[in-house]
Structures are given as C-alpha cells and as structure tokens.
Structure 1
C-alpha cells in the first residue's frame, strides 16, 4: 500500500479506495450512526470548514474533551483538515485539570461533551472557568434535551457556520498539511509526576499507526471494537488512524463494561479487540461470557501495563482467539516501540513485547534502561527544552524510564519502571517480577507492589491485591505463596486487599496513590 504521511491524505485515500465501505458504526444511540468512508470525509470537511469560519488558523491548537463516540474522530480529523493541531484531553480530568491543559497548550477552540453519566464537562467549564476559555467552545451532545449554555455553540449550530468558501478553504488546507507539521499534543499520563505535552508530527504519528495496522494485518473486512479512550495513543493512534489507513470499520464504546463489550462482539461480529490487561481479565472472569458467541474475534492486542503471563494463556485458551499480540510503547514514541507479531509462538507472546516496530530500533543503557530511536519518536515536549534534552539524547535515543532485557532474537522484555524499583536490604527489587508471581495465585485478579519504609531493611514490599468474590485468601496465605517462588528479599512483608485500583485512563495503576 502506498504510504501517506498526513492524516488528511490518509482520509482522502480511504474515501477514494473504499467510498461505500463502512468506516464508523456508533451503536450507542437510539438510532445508530453509520458512516461510509466517503460520508466520513464529508463530515470531517464540515468540521474543518466550521473551524475556519470560526477564525481557526493553520497551526492553532484545538482541544477535544469527550468520551468515545462518532463525534470524536470526526472532530479530530476535522481539526487536522483545518491545518490545526489536536490536543486530546483525558476524560477523567476535573474541570481544573482540563483548563490547565487548555491554557498550557494555548488552545484557540475546545470541543467538549455535555451531560454524560452524571457529569457535564461543558457546564463545569462554563461555571468555573469561563474567563479562561477560548472564544470557540463547541458542545458535543451525548444526551438529548440539554439546556443552552452561554458562550457555547452546540454541535449542529457550530456545523451550520460552514459556507461554500470555508469548505473550499478546508480542502486547500488539508492538501497543504506537511508531513513535518505538528499533528497533536498529547499529555503524558503523569504516573510519576506532572504531565508533559508531547509534540508529534504527522509523519511520526502515521509511521506508527501504519506499522501497528500492518502488524495486525488490518483490512476493510475487519471490525474494530474501540474501548480504549480516544484521547490516548491506544485509542487514537492505534485505533482511529490505523482504521483510516487500512479501511477497517470503527465501533466506538464510551463506557467499558464487560457485558456491553461482549454483547458488541457477539452482535457486530467484532474481529479486532485491543485493550489494557484489566479489560480482558474482567471479561474472562464474567459469568455471562459462557452465553455469548465471541468466536468472531481473530485479534487481541494488549499492553499499557505489565501483562501477567497467565492472562495471555487464558485469552488464548478460554476465549479461543487465534492471535494475541503484546506490544509496548509510550506517548513520546506515539505509542509504538516494539511488538510481537501474529507469527510469534505463544512463549514469545506471553513473555516479551516483541521486536522493534518497523521504523524503530531499541537498545539498553548500561543501567538496563530501555532506549528507543526512530521514526515515531516525538519532536519534543511542549515549552520544555530541558525535559526534552533529558529524555531524548544527542544521538536521538529516547530514554523510556523502563527497565528491560533484550534476548538474542531481539525480543524486548519489560521488567519494571525505573522509578518503581526499591531497595530491600541492599538488593534492587523490581515489583513486576513479584506481580507476575502473584498473578498465578488462584483468586488474585490483579496486583500492585510498592516499596514502603522499613527501619531495618530500608524498604520492604507491600502487595495490594484485588481478588475474586469467591476467593479464600488472607495475608498469611499470600505471603506463604510468595515465599515458595521468590527470594526472601523479594517477598512482600504486608498485603492489602482493595476493591479497585486507582488508575489513569490507559489502565495503568497509579502506584503513587497507593503509596
């Protein structure tokens, strides 16, 4: 397939190659929304034209704060067609956190959801932060009958701003977007500190999206269930954009529930279902699974956290999925560093993150830190030259902050976060090894291990666990199990049972909140 290096070029090719094939099916509405690739492109041009009519210029930043629905890819690609830069906002943000990113990115427009599941982002922003908002604020309707808000244009009213002139200008701007123009500013998850804005170029973003889609062998015959949030690389750059490049149909899901996801798979004959490990853990443990036909699934891709080996085994054995792929990435590389392939054996998939994506290379520092270099590495951090220099060295190597090993075949294995390591009695302890062990204890659904202060040993491990409702586990039993498989300095000294873990939107456990 001929390569393209801007998102407008990708959508133009999709609309030309598969004009009447389904691009997007959103079943979350009383009347499902279905768009072909030709129709999707026209909707995108409408958004771009309305942005232009509202005064948005090439290079302006436009924020998007809304859960997964058909509006999101239409708005995001519309931003790009207007020559502007997309700034996705985490839907778990408070209004104060959202306005912080809006101000730091100097956004000139904001797309924001209205009332949804008891929250109303648009109303929150207007009530508490009206003075800090840009002039262009567009409300995405996720429920019917919303009252008008001063200073906010509703979706349909915003689109009514389009004219023949602005639509023509939108097409001109789309053609003028250059591969080295900034496509988006994604803010890091902030698991280890204040979030940073990552500047990615169109060519960097699409190099990763193409490599991801090619590795998964996506095609126009695939149907992709999108539970990963669109504001994250896993939903946007490993979701919307690979589908656009390979003609795959998108099925957005705003709220993940195991029952709803399984119903979608069965009803829509979903073939591709990526997600964080916790997604598949909950499906595997859901008693309703036995009554649903999930046999259409051909590809599961997981990552975004340490993946227990036993989980990979259960996805293959219990769900009957032909291809399970684990991958590894981070926002600073558009989400793409290494991946297993469909041809890898089960042991490789279960125990590694595979080899470098096409266009990337990986190496280890003297301290075992994973380094990445290649087409997907960011231009740098927004307004933070020092952090950029500390993260990407003079030779172009991105310092990931993860600890890993690389075997003789080039397979990367992440053993832990550099900042998660603690020292017990003079020994370095990497929690991921302990978490892998605890994952095999019957009844444990997920674990997180941190180091806590100890007068004698400096630090010792504390394990936090979620368990099945029928599990018969206590602290002594968990510690005894760990002693069977781990050296003494690695064995947790205490165990805390929790109902749920604090997480960021990518599914990563926020260990600093446990501490």
Structure 2
C-alpha cells in the first residue's frame, strides 16, 4: 500500500469486523465506550472526507488539526487524505499564537480544533482573538462538553451532516486518484535551534516507514495498541495510527498521560503494544502503585529518542517483565524512521544501540561523526525554504541529522549526542549524553541534562542539571563523587544544579540553551 486511502480500504476489506478503535475518554462512566470496527471506521473517514468536499475543500488543499488524542483525530486525518488533501498536525502544546502562525504559514484552508479540554477551549480562543487569520472552515471537536460552539465554527456532528451522496462519490473519486508521490502531510519540527520548519512528506515515504515499523514490531490484528504518544508527532501518527491501519491493530488513544491512566488502560483493555518516550516508562517503573495493575498483556515495548538510558531498557525487561523491548531512532525529516533494533536482537544490542537501518534506508557517518541518512523515508524538503532544504540534504541525497553517532561492524547505530551539544574540555571532546547515561544510574536521579560552561583554565567544563525523587539523599558532592567513579576526569561535571523541572520546547525536549 502506497497511499493511506488505499491502506484504509484494504483494512476495511481485510478485517471488516475487527475493532479499529476504542475510546471511552469523552463519555460518562455509565455509558458504553465508543468502539468502531474497521468497516465502521472506514465509513466514518469517508463521511468526513465527503463533508470536506461539501465544504469546498479541494484536492491538494491543506487542513490542520489542533486537538488531543481521541477517536476524532485519526478519522479527521485519514479523512483529509481521503479527500485528496494534505494534513498539517499542530502540536497541542502550542499557544494560540503559535498555532495560528502554523495555520498561516501552511496556508491551511480548514482547521479541526478542540473545544473545552483541561480548562481551555482552543476553538473559542482562536475565534475570539484570531478570527481574521483563520480559514473559513473551522471544525470544533467537542471533548469535555459544557460549552457551546462559538460563532465561526461548525460542531463535529453538524459538520459530518454536510456530506451528500454527490460528495461521497467525489470523495471516493479523489481517494482513488491520490498518488504515492502526493504530499501526505506537513509536520513542523520542534524548533530547538530556531524557527520551526515544515517537513514535506509523500504518501509513499510515509507508508514505507510505517510499514517497516509495524512489520519489525510483528504487529497483527490481535494486537491492541496503547497510544500515549501525541498524534501530532511522528511517534503517534506515523508509528501509531498508520501501522494500525496497515496491520489491522486496535487503537487505544489516551489524551492525557499519567502512569495511573496508562496502566489502567493496559489492564482494562489488555493492551499488547506500548510505544513511548523514555520518560513515560520511567514514571511507570517508579510508580509505587504499579503492582496494583495487571500489565501482563504487554508483549512489546518500543522506545526511542536521541538518547535512551541503558538502565531504562534493562529495567523494562527485568522489572516490567516485557518479553520484547525495541529501541529505535528517527527524526521528522525521515518520517520518524532511520534505524531500529529487532525482536531477535540480544539484550546488549537493544540496550546499547538503535539497531540497523530501516528497509529502504542507508546510514553512514560524516568525517566529524555526524549521522547521515539516505533513502525512501527522507523528506521531499522543507516548506517554502529551499535554502534550509539544501543545507540539510546534500547533493548526494544524504540527510544531515545533526546527531553524533557510531556504527559497529554489524551496522548498529549508537547515538552519542547532538552535534551542537558537544563541548571541549581541556582539548578533549565531551559528549553530554555519555555523562547523562552515567548519571541515570545514580539512585535518586530522575533526569539529567549536562551542558558546557566557560572555564578560564580548561575552556569549558561540564555542569549537570538534575531532577531527583522526593526525599533523595543527594547533593553536589555525592553526584560528582559518583561521576568520578565511572568517568574520565575531563568528563566529570565540575558543578551540579538541582532543579524542580526542566525547560522544554513544545515537543517536550529539554531546552539546554535555557539552563545556563
């Protein structure tokens, strides 16, 4: 399958009575939760697409979604594709001003936006303060209820009511006409080093990565996939929704992560697949009430980031009892898929590497050790930014990731740090990630970030910022003493700062530039 409409139609044919999605987050506890079979899910997507057609959305137009994980999101996203349009996911951590900026930069002609949720009403806020900058079509997703649809928006159910037989016919025609080389989505980067950039990906690029990811994880129609990764991110969308469509897996969305809610959903719905960022699993492993929940249904955990603490992988295997743990590496510019371990890899490979290149991808290192990637998952380029595109993808097609890494004799990639995070202490290159890996093993430390700070004698020295458990018996001297036991002297932080929380960007990455 090389387009998402074709993949969805195949799912409806292959598993018509299989459960596509289960979502009880928005219903009273006395009501049965929403369940859609793949046949019903296909019909829902088709209806949404027809309503877009009836609302004037043309093939090639862009439609943005600014809403948390719920059953509405995959219906809307695949409905956009089914109508021949391009999806623009918006980070739910954006402020209204940031969201409007992306809507304007992408020239979106439609916007799907959440109503009242966690004390905020994005639809009402946008229409009150930014109406002149919004597209004519604003679709409000009712989540918590209680508030009315603001002027200038159409409620979800009323919007779906716009579909007609003629519009359904046109939606089907557009779905069949979608090309593998059409742009499927524009995902905006997190902007850790400047203004975010819109990453252009085709249906072919997107689904190649999604299929490789799902195949590697051994996904099958009996799986039930706990979705705590936000849908606006590649981890929730391209490694979440789309693999479920490709392999007939049940989606279990969770809008607001907490270890309690995640463990309850695993237990209640017998989730088998649980991908997430390292911090997600850290909170579950450390939760004192973990033993109150039956997590035995989990068969596979997938985690990935630039850096995954080795000790975390070991605890997932030993403490959580998960049979298969996979680590992987990717970035938005490669649809989230560069390299991965496999279920057959030994524990040492999983704990210490990000595995080998995904099918259709190549990896090599530059002269300075930067990870370069080339192949079928690499983006078309950045939206309206040919200069940045040329700076990121060289003339030979290699994507410059900005990450520093190593490759072993088997092709296993290990990410050692970000190129920009490296500092030089006394003439030696220091990679903060190595120090952070070490500090992750210090009892009481929950997370760390190491940066280089100026030093008259050595040029730069390390400073470690730490968050710790309540009641942890740690001070600067103990942290430095621990580091000295495990690291060469030039790598040992010269100072330690304890913080309540880290500054983060909209994607949750620590903003090291804001620490010094």
TM over 0.5: yes
Q: How does 1:70-469 map to 2 (within 5 A)?
A: 70-469=71-470
Cα distance, 1:120 vs structure 2: 1.3
Question: Deviations 1:219-262 (Å, cap 9, x if unpaired)?
Answer: 00000000000000000000000000000000000000001100
TM-score (norm 2): 0.98
Residues 402 and 417 in structure 1, CA contact (< 8 A), matched pair in contact too: yes
Residues 405 and 412 in structure 1, CA contact (< 8 A), matched pair in contact too: yes
What is the root-mean-square deviation of aligned Cα atoms in Å?
1.0
Partner residue, 1:6 = 3
Cα distance, 1:451 vs structure 2: 1.4
Question: Deviations 1:264-320 (Å, cap 9, x if unpaired)?
Answer: 111111100000000000000000101111010000000124111110000000000
Residues 24 and 251 in structure 1, CA contact (< 8 A), matched pair in contact too: yes
Cα distance, 1:426 vs structure 2: 2.2
Residues 11 and 244 in structure 1, CA contact (< 8 A), matched pair in contact too: yes
Cα distance, 1:503 vs structure 2: 3.0
Partners in 1 of 2:367 and 2:306 — Cα distance?
Answer: 24
Cα distance, 1:145 vs structure 2: 2.5
Residues 276 and 305 in structure 1, CA contact (< 8 A), matched pair in contact too: no
Partners in 2 of 1:344 and 1:296 — Cα distance?
Answer: 22
Cα distance, 1:456 vs structure 2: 2.8
Partner residue, 2:495 = 494
2:289 partner SS: helix
Residues 304 and 506 in structure 1, CA contact (< 8 A), matched pair in contact too: no
Cα distance, 1:470 vs structure 2: 3.0
Query: Which range moves more in the overlay, 478-487 or 362-371?
Result: 478-487
Query: Which range moves more in the overlay, 66-75 or 470-479?
Result: 470-479
Partners in 1 of 2:35 and 2:513 — Cα distance?
Answer: 42
TM-score (norm 1): 0.98
Partners in 2 of 1:131 and 1:509 — Cα distance?
Answer: 34
1:419 partner SS: helix
2:62 equivalent to 1:61: yes
2:26 equivalent to 1:25: no
Cα distance, 1:505 vs structure 2: 5.1
Partner residue, 1:484 = 485
Cα distance, 1:68 vs structure 2: 0.2
Cα distance, 1:213 vs structure 2: 0.1
Cα distance, 1:123 vs structure 2: 1.4
Residues 140 and 149 in structure 2, CA contact (< 8 A), matched pair in contact too: no
1:146 partner SS: coil
Partners in 2 of 1:52 and 1:86 — Cα distance?
Answer: 15
Partners in 2 of 1:470 and 1:206 — Cα distance?
Answer: 47
Residues 51 and 159 in structure 2, CA contact (< 8 A), matched pair in contact too: yes
Residues 306 and 417 in structure 2, CA contact (< 8 A), matched pair in contact too: no
Residues 229 and 506 in structure 1, CA contact (< 8 A), matched pair in contact too: no
Partners in 2 of 1:187 and 1:452 — Cα distance?
Answer: 31
Partners in 1 of 2:364 and 2:488 — Cα distance?
Answer: 28
Residues 263 and 295 in structure 2, CA contact (< 8 A), matched pair in contact too: yes
Please list every run of 5 or more consecutive structure 2 residues that lacks an aligned counterpart in the other structure.
none
Partners in 1 of 2:149 and 2:251 — Cα distance?
Answer: 31
2:98 partner SS: helix
Query: Which range moves more in the overlay, 93-102 or 445-454?
Result: 445-454
Question: Deviations 1:313-346 (Å, cap 9, x if unpaired)?
Answer: 0000000000000000000000000000000000
